[in-house]
Amino acid sequence: RMVMKKSLTIGIIVPDITNPFFATLVKGIEDVLFSSGFMTILCNVDMNLTKGKKAIEALNHRGVDGVILASSGISITEVLNQELLQKIPIIELDQQVTTQTFDSVRTDDYRGGELVATLLNDTKHKQAVALFPKDMSPNILKRLVGFTDNFNGQVEVLPTELSKQSGKEMVRTILNTNATAIFAANDEIAFGVYAGLSEVGKKVPDDYSVVGYDNIEMSEYVYPPLTTVSQPIFELGQKTADLLIDRINHPDKDETELILPVTLIERLSVARP
Ligand code: RIB
């Protein structure tokens, strides 16, 4: 790869800047980059492929030294053409593609899904719904597979976007199932579910147990405090920035794949049915 270090700027592409997951993530990235003398250009692409492509091209025109693609909405192979791939160091964050090798940093999504399954098994749930996007990025798919592989009861997967609104809208559908437990692909969906359930007079965890994913700060402050899987979000950002700087300084080194651990944070949103 031909890399000329020149602009001391890095592009960060995120799918949804209103989701606090990405605020904490960018904070971690920026923390490392800033102290190493890099400025960041942040692009929000609304989980939109066309916007993602345009953002990468624009970043390339500005001569960025590298790009961090933090996307659960768009996949790296779709946004990048080969020419750009040769030119700019790119770190793929929080997803894993199989077709091409990049440096990548992610968390143990399979294990996260497994932790949720174990919790719901232990609390004797037999019917669960999983609220997951229709077009899942590889990391989020692993999360779901970790869950379905290990949950002893029945799981119905209901296609839900990674947003509060989509979680709220899904409540009508959930009410028509026999589920006693709801596993949301991220905390944002879980917050939407909380709102939707309270609108129809249903209580968490008395009527439904709810488990989120991410452990964004807010999950501790909703009522009842949300049981969720914690990703080391800030550290994920820091490690990604470290890796990118290392790549810029050593363009020909072997690709690295980092997987960070996750933990279950048990709060008050899960009970026996
Ligand atoms: O909330 C955003 C989700 O997209 C997170 O779970 C993260 O892992 C990302 O892929």
Residue of higher predicted confidence among 205 and 97:
205
Choose which residue among 162, 211, 259, 265 to substitute to test ligand 1 binding: the one with the highest number of ligand atoms within 8 A of its C-beta: 162
Pull the structure tokens for residue 257: 């794949």
- What is d(CA 167, CA 122) in angstroms, rounded to the nearest whole number? 25
pLDDT tens-digit series, residues 17-69: 999 999 999 999 999 999 999 999 999 887 777 888 888 888 988 999 998 88
Residue nearest to atom 1 of ligand 1 (CA): 186
ipTM: 0.97
pLDDT tens-digit series, residues 211-256: 999 999 999 999 999 999 999 999 999 999 999 999 999 988 888 8
Q: How many helices (H) and strands (E) does the chain have?
A: 10, 12
Q: Find the 229 Cα to ligand 1 centroid distance in Å.
A: 11
Which candidate, 130, 125, 183, 180, places its Cα nearest to that of 153?
Answer: 125
Q: How many CA atoms lie within 13 A of 207 on its CB side?
A: 14
pLDDT tens-digit series, residues 70-116: 865 556 566 666 566 667 787 877 765 555 567 888 999 999 999 99
Q: Judging by DSSP bridges, how do beta strands 66-70 and 209-214 pair with one another?
A: unpaired
Radius of gyration (C-alpha) of the chain in whole angstroms: 19
